[in-house]
Amino acid sequence: MKMFLCTTKPIHVVGFILAGLAFASCKQTEIVVPPPVKVNIVTAVQQDVPLYEDFVAQVYGESDVDIRSRVEGWVMSVNFQEGTAVKKGDLLYTIDDIQYKTRVDREASELASAKTEMVRAQNELNRVKPLAEMNALSKQDLDNSTAGYEAAVSKVKAAEANLQNAKIELGYTKVYAPFNGVVGISNVRVGDYASRAGATSILTTISSISGVRVRFQISEREYLRIAQMTQEELSSAKKNVQLILADGSLYTEKGEVNFADREIDPKTGTLTIEAIFPNPKGLLRPGLFVKTRVLLSTIPNAVLVPQRAVFQLQSLSQVFTVTDSSTLKVTLIEPGAKIGDAWVINKGLKAGDKVAVIGTASLTPNTKIEVVEMKWPDDSQKKINNN
């Protein structure tokens, strides 16, 4: 009896296991299909794209004039507020004029004395001349009288010139604004001594800022490239100069190239170019650092996509385009110039192609996606026009 029980128990267990395996083999395998992945999609746009070149530049006034002292003396008054607008003819400084008034009086006295001497010499000549004609006096007497009169006339002219010069120097004791502009910081105060030369000769500086000059340098390579442009391209470039301010904003007024220097600076290997800009609101001040943006050429009918849609691996560039079956496909491209946040595509795409803007590396070709349209063409247009 015991032997029978021991032999039947293993048989029962094996049968149970076989039955379980048969049931498992009959059960169908279930395949889990993941839902489509939402992907931002943009449409490649086509438009004319201007190509600009940026250069570091500095602003100068239309006229930046150092106001210098033309006489020496103590500064008696400063008649303006620093950093404010002044008009032509406004009194800026007065310098002690006592010594110059004294000189005017002295020269006036010298002139009066010279005129008296001239009258005396003329009377003498008038007396001698008829007598010499009657041979009552010798010709030498006539020559002496004539010479004396001519000398007296010369002294009068010299005295008049000295008096005029003294009056001019007296006028220099009052310093006036030579034109409308903005006056800078005064280098002298009341009680300082102003001189004709040296550091104390520059009293202040006035700048005319109704228009400004902007100077920038280009390299030899850039100069050669610009020099080979056509006349139409050069004309357009000269009249389409823009300014980018320190805060990154674009100055509202466009400028025009005024001149280029006659030579390449041998020390820096650069050529200085100047452009002029209107400044109706006085926003631009001398000394301001800006960037000039020059339109060099335009790419007609360029195809554009966002830079973030382009993947680069060594020397290859590619994008993910959307197929008709809402899957992704790798497309090799040849990128060109970068414009704002866009990239010009020379080859591989055409206008209207759907391009994925992928922010994750988990997506692969043939991934089923759900298209999420982006309004990138409007933003792209705005950025490119602002450039």
Q: Domains in the chain, start-ordered, CATH in brackets?
A: 38-49+299-386 (2.40.420.20), 53-61+209-298 (2.40.30.170), 65-89+179-206 (no CATH), 98-171 (1.10.287.470)
Q: What is the pLDDT of residue 169?
A: 94
At residue 112, the pLDDT reads 96
17-26, 155-164, 219-228: range with lowest mean pLDDT: 17-26
pLDDT of residue 6: 43
DSSP state of 250: B
Least confident of 67-76, 236-245, 359-368: 359-368
In this predicted structure, which of 12-16, 161-165, 374-378 has the lowest mean pLDDT?
Answer: 12-16
Question: How confident is the model at residue 382, as a pLDDT?
Answer: 52
* Helical ranges in the chain per DSSP H: 2-26, 98-133, 139-171, 220-227, 231-238, 376-386
The pLDDT assigned to 90 comes to 96
Residue 207 near residue 61 (C-beta atoms within 8 A) = yes
pTM for the model stands at 0.68
Mean pLDDT of the chain: 85
Stretch 253-272: mean pLDDT, rounded?
93
pLDDT tens digit sequence for 65-108: 999 999 999 999 999 999 999 999 999 999 999 999 999 999 99
Tens of pLDDT along 5-34? 444 444 454 444 444 544 444 455 556 666
How far apart CA 73 and CA 196 sit, in angstroms, is 9
Strands 289-306, 342-347: pairing kind: antiparallel
End-to-end CA distance of the chain: 102
State the amino acid at position 183 in one-letter form: V
Stretch 277-304: mean pLDDT: 91
If you compute the radius of gyration of the chain from its CA atoms, what whole number of angstroms results?
A: 46
Which percentage of the chain shows pLDDT scores above 90?
51
